Chains A and B, each alone.
Chain A
């Protein structure tokens, strides 16, 4: 199957700072690919290149078979962009916004009106279609923002953190809409900070860090590839002695202070052995928490816990 989005060896620099250092990604029709990464990882830059707003310094990018930037104009007919900002006109109504963007997508008046109605239905804003956007809640604006990007039923959809700051109901509605679009055959590249969101929506996840792809695959593949182990957090009636895990294979004490202990286990089957060892050590277990490795753990494992405040394009521009 030919990829609707194909990026290979893309490089983009802002002055001396490298935002993308040879990134390769592809997204097939009907596929949702999550784009994860800390601030400054290059997610928005990659989306901007694919949206034909920026031009890469090196590498190739094609959207629905249209090579960028040479065929950017043709690509724009088939791609939809949902920017991180709620890119709508606050003083226009929802319907006016939709009709305008539909016309700018090349639809004629009738088709634009029909597309606006469809989009309103998709995001559940039919009843508020004629209200000015400035009266909308953050969630409604986010939904409208999504609707403006999918008016023309794009074959390629680029979403840049489309659920920032929205209420759970709106988030669910956005998820449903994105999934519906994917089912309809759109190739979707979904940029987010939210691991849960990425795991929920994306068939594949691409983890970007400092312009490089740190990892790529399904959520499980990423977790597995990271070789992370489950951890147990124990709280006992009294402090356990230092060698209480000596006879338990596949378990290793990571930390222990007083009556609390953090234990790494190679597999969840080892939990029973840990409990027995604690009891043998004279500590009745008051509380036990099993923490399985998650995408977030993979994220932090790959990108670290250090802040990235100085690595965004805006910071680079300063």
Chain B
């Protein structure tokens, strides 16, 4: 059992060892993929993004102020960037549109002044959205430079602010000391005023009592004098009235006696004359005692003379010591914020839909798979089946047969690409650009080139088994290095130059221009022409190789 197992393993290893195509596929193909991917993606893993050359960054300083100088100075120190001063934003934009640079920085007029004034301001970064790695790298460096400039300005402003705060704190402490002293003084003055008022009120009360007593004594004296004088004045009256009264009683007594003496003739006696009556006023006057009369006759004010009440005026109000909490800080403005606004040079969105890159890229990859393997395997199959020999013995020109085969594949490839782009549009919302039908140009070009390259592979691969390694190496190289799997800008500069020899590079350039940069038909002319030229060259080479290597074996 083990012996059989060992023999079977040995047999399979021997088979593999003798399968040259398989060995190439196992060894050379992955090495090539690793090489291409490694060089292409080096930028993602810390290698110099631009390879041996730095990114060109046009800088249009329309401000001409401190900010521009600081930014240029900061960016000039970045090894990954070659600052290229340009006159204005139009020149900067032209360099980006022309593909010289992936980004361009514009420092708009008035930015420095706005910042110093504490106003927000913006820098303008023109971008080519296709070169998003370059854009990302430059954006990061510009942001870093901006951050440094901003940080420096903030630092200076903070320093000034700190100094101002120190001064303000000292002034505040002086102010607070003065305020406390003043408050204490004012508080003392209030106490003094209260004491003075109390003393004044006490003195006033005493004075009032004394005055009142003096007035009362004076009034009593005046009343007594008036009573005495009144009594003296009324004494004759009293005398008279007393005399009158006595006389009236004497007359009454007399009369009574007269009547009594008149006996029975008393009634005949005539009524005596009525004595004069005393006027009531006189009677009241006479009846009143001197005191009452004096009180009645003396003016009330003289009898109830009051000391005028003296109301002290309120003490003068002390000024309210409403001290502000602290004196105003001296004005110290921070510089305004500075941001970077991005704008695509073609008016396309600065952020791209990843499918705008991936849909054409992988469509081209699978186109290559279909065309290279389809055309080459199809032709080799025909050779192996013997149908090529049969067709060559038939009246139809063999070239026409071959062209028909390639044309059929071309149509299939065209339909495949259109279908994939339609799926990309419907499912992933990829942009088809302002003129979607313009995509047909590079599509026709790359399908033609891929079809013709299939003939080259068919001519190079001696057998069906050889197609896989030859085809896979060709497909991987063309797709990877040509920007189908990742943007060309990821690749080092030398690789980007080398990739111009691949039709995929031109196809992706056209797709990027039309779909991502939103450019118009004219942008597709040059890449399509190159693709057609490549296709024609491949067709010629493929025919030569196919005739020499493949048909020779029929």
Chain A residues with CB under 8 Å of chain B are 48, 51-53, 73, 76-77, 79, 81, 83-90, 101, 104-106, 148-149, 314, 317
Identity of the chain A residue whose Cβ is nearest the Cβ of B554 in the assembled complex = A53
Whether B385 is near chain A, meaning CB under 8 Å from some CB there, is: yes
Given contacts A48-B554, A53-B554, A104-B401, contact A83 B386 (CB under 8 A): yes
Contact A105 B386 (CB under 8 A): no
Chain B residues with CB under 8 Å of chain A are 384-387, 389-397, 401, 553-554
How distant is the Cα of A52 from the Cα of B393 in the complex, in angstroms? 6
11 extra interchain contacts, Cβ-Cβ under 8 A, other than A76-B393, A88-B387, A105-B394? A53-B389, A53-B392, A53-B393, A77-B395, A81-B389, A83-B389, A85-B384, A85-B386, A104-B396, A105-B396, A317-B553
Contact A87 B553 (CB under 8 A): no
Q: Kindly provide the distance from the CB of A162 to the nearest chain B CB, expressed in whole angstroms.
A: 12
How distant is the Cα of A56 from the Cα of B320 in the complex, in angstroms? 130
Set of chain B residues within 8 Å of A52, measured between Cβ atoms: 392-393
Identity of the chain A residue whose Cβ is nearest the Cβ of B396 in the assembled complex = A104
Set of chain B residues within 8 Å of A104, measured between Cβ atoms: 391, 394-396, 401
Given contacts A88-B387, A317-B553, contact A51 B395 (CB under 8 A): no
Q: Kindly provide the distance from the CB of A96 to the nearest chain B CB, expressed in whole angstroms.
A: 13
Out of A53, A79, A88, A314, which one reaches B385, CB within 8 Å?
A88
How distant is the Cα of A73 from the Cα of B392 in the complex, in angstroms? 10
Tell me if B's interface is mostly helix, strand, loop or mixed: helix
Set of chain B residues within 8 Å of A81, measured between Cβ atoms: 389-390, 393
Set of chain B residues within 8 Å of A317, measured between Cβ atoms: 553
Contact A83 B395 (CB under 8 A): no
Complex A-B: 10 CB contacts under 8 Å: A53-B554, A76-B394, A83-B386, A87-B386, A87-B390, A101-B394, A104-B391, A104-B401, A106-B396, A317-B553
Identity of the chain A residue whose Cβ is nearest the Cβ of B404 in the assembled complex = A104
Of B384, B386, B397, B554, the most chain A CB neighbours within 10 A belong to B386
How distant is the Cα of A87 from the Cα of B381 in the complex, in angstroms? 10
Contact A87 B385 (CB under 8 A): yes
Given contacts A48-B554, A77-B395, contact A149 B390 (CB under 8 A): yes
Contact A83 B396 (CB under 8 A): no
Contact A101 B395 (CB under 8 A): no
Given contacts A48-B554, A53-B554, contact A86 B392 (CB under 8 A): no
Set of chain B residues within 8 Å of A90, measured between Cβ atoms: 385
How distant is the Cα of A48 from the Cα of B390 in the complex, in angstroms? 10
Identity of the chain A residue whose Cβ is nearest the Cβ of B383 in the assembled complex = A85
How distant is the Cα of A318 from the Cα of B32 in the complex, in angstroms? 29
Set of chain B residues within 8 Å of A51, measured between Cβ atoms: 389, 392-393
Identity of the chain B residue whose Cβ is nearest the Cβ of A148 in the assembled complex = B390
Identity of the chain B residue whose Cβ is nearest the Cβ of A106 in the assembled complex = B395
Set of chain B residues within 8 Å of A84, measured between Cβ atoms: 386
Set of chain B residues within 8 Å of A148, measured between Cβ atoms: 390
How distant is the Cα of A52 from the Cα of B551 in the complex, in angstroms? 13
Out of A53, A88, A105, A314, which one reaches B395, CB within 8 Å?
A105
Contact B394 A86 (CB under 8 A): no
Q: Kindly provide the distance from the CB of A54 to the nearest chain B CB, expressed in whole angstroms.
A: 8
How distant is the Cα of A317 from the Cα of B554 in the complex, in angstroms? 12
How distant is the Cα of A63 from the Cα of B391 in the complex, in angstroms? 17
Identity of the chain B residue whose Cβ is nearest the Cβ of A54 in the assembled complex = B554
How distant is the Cα of A81 from the Cα of B389 in the complex, in angstroms? 9
Set of chain B residues within 8 Å of A48, measured between Cβ atoms: 389, 554
Given contacts A48-B554, A104-B401, A317-B553, contact A87 B395 (CB under 8 A): no
Q: Kindly provide the distance from the CB of B393 to the nearest chain A CB, expressed in whole angstroms.
A: 4
Set of chain B residues within 8 Å of A149, measured between Cβ atoms: 390
Of A79, A83, A89, A106, the most chain B CB neighbours within 10 A belong to A83
How distant is the Cα of A76 from the Cα of B400 in the complex, in angstroms? 15
Q: Kindly provide the distance from the CB of A138 to the nearest chain B CB, expressed in whole angstroms.
A: 14
How distant is the Cα of A83 from the Cα of B387 in the complex, in angstroms? 9
Q: Kindly provide the distance from the CB of A64 to the nearest chain B CB, expressed in whole angstroms.
A: 13
Set of chain A residues within 8 Å of B395, measured between Cβ atoms: 73, 76-77, 104-106
Set of chain B residues within 8 Å of A79, measured between Cβ atoms: 393
Given contacts A53-B554, A104-B401, contact A87 B389 (CB under 8 A): yes
Set of chain B residues within 8 Å of A314, measured between Cβ atoms: 553
How distant is the Cα of A83 from the Cα of B401 in the complex, in angstroms? 18
Set of chain A residues within 8 Å of B391, measured between Cβ atoms: 104
How distant is the Cα of A101 from the Cα of B394 in the complex, in angstroms? 8
Q: Kindly provide the distance from the CB of A214 to the nearest chain B CB, expressed in whole angstroms.
A: 26
Given contacts A53-B554, A104-B401, A317-B553, contact A87 B392 (CB under 8 A): no
Contact B554 A87 (CB under 8 A): no
How distant is the Cα of A97 from the Cα of B393 in the complex, in angstroms? 16
How distant is the Cα of A81 from the Cα of B395 in the complex, in angstroms? 12
Given contacts A48-B554, A53-B554, contact A85 B393 (CB under 8 A): no
How distant is the Cα of A49 from the Cα of B425 in the complex, in angstroms? 55
Set of chain A residues within 8 Å of B394, measured between Cβ atoms: 76, 101, 104-105
A-B complex: 8 closest residue pairs judged by Cβ atoms: A87-B386, A85-B386, A51-B393, A81-B393, A87-B390, A83-B386, A76-B395, A104-B394
Q: Kindly provide the distance from the CB of A148 to the nearest chain B CB, expressed in whole angstroms.
A: 7
Q: Kindly provide the distance from the CB of A70 to the nearest chain B CB, expressed in whole angstroms.
A: 15
Set of chain A residues within 8 Å of B393, measured between Cβ atoms: 51-53, 76, 79, 81
How distant is the Cα of A101 from the Cα of B401 in the complex, in angstroms? 12
Q: Kindly provide the distance from the CB of A142 to the nearest chain B CB, expressed in whole angstroms.
A: 12
How distant is the Cα of A145 from the Cα of B15 in the complex, in angstroms? 33
Of B389, B390, B393, B395, the most chain A CB neighbours within 10 A belong to B393
Set of chain A residues within 8 Å of B384, measured between Cβ atoms: 85
How distant is the Cα of A83 from the Cα of B383 in the complex, in angstroms? 12
How distant is the Cα of A88 from the Cα of B382 in the complex, in angstroms? 9
How distant is the Cα of A14 from the Cα of B397 in the complex, in angstroms? 25
How distant is the Cα of A106 from the Cα of B391 in the complex, in angstroms? 12
Out of B385, B390, B392, B397, which one reaches A101, CB within 8 Å?
B390
How distant is the Cα of A106 from the Cα of B397 in the complex, in angstroms? 11
Set of chain A residues within 8 Å of B386, measured between Cβ atoms: 83-87
Q: Kindly provide the distance from the CB of B553 to the nearest chain A CB, expressed in whole angstroms.
A: 7
Set of chain B residues within 8 Å of A73, measured between Cβ atoms: 395, 397
Set of chain A residues within 8 Å of B401, measured between Cβ atoms: 104
Identity of the chain A residue whose Cβ is nearest the Cβ of B552 in the assembled complex = A317
Q: Kindly provide the distance from the CB of B97 to the nearest chain A CB, expressed in whole angstroms.
A: 51
Q: Kindly provide the distance from the CB of B129 to the nearest chain A CB, expressed in whole angstroms.
A: 45
Identity of the chain B residue whose Cβ is nearest the Cβ of A76 in the assembled complex = B395
How distant is the Cα of A149 from the Cα of B386 in the complex, in angstroms? 12
Q: Kindly provide the distance from the CB of B86 to the nearest chain A CB, expressed in whole angstroms.
A: 62
How distant is the Cα of A76 from the Cα of B389 in the complex, in angstroms? 12
Of A73, A81, A88, A105, the most chain B CB neighbours within 10 A belong to A81
Set of chain B residues within 8 Å of A53, measured between Cβ atoms: 389, 392-393, 554
Q: Kindly provide the distance from the CB of B202 to the nearest chain A CB, expressed in whole angstroms.
A: 135
How distant is the Cα of A88 from the Cα of B387 in the complex, in angstroms? 6
Of A52, A104, A105, the most chain B CB neighbours within 10 A belong to A104
Set of chain A residues within 8 Å of B385, measured between Cβ atoms: 85-90
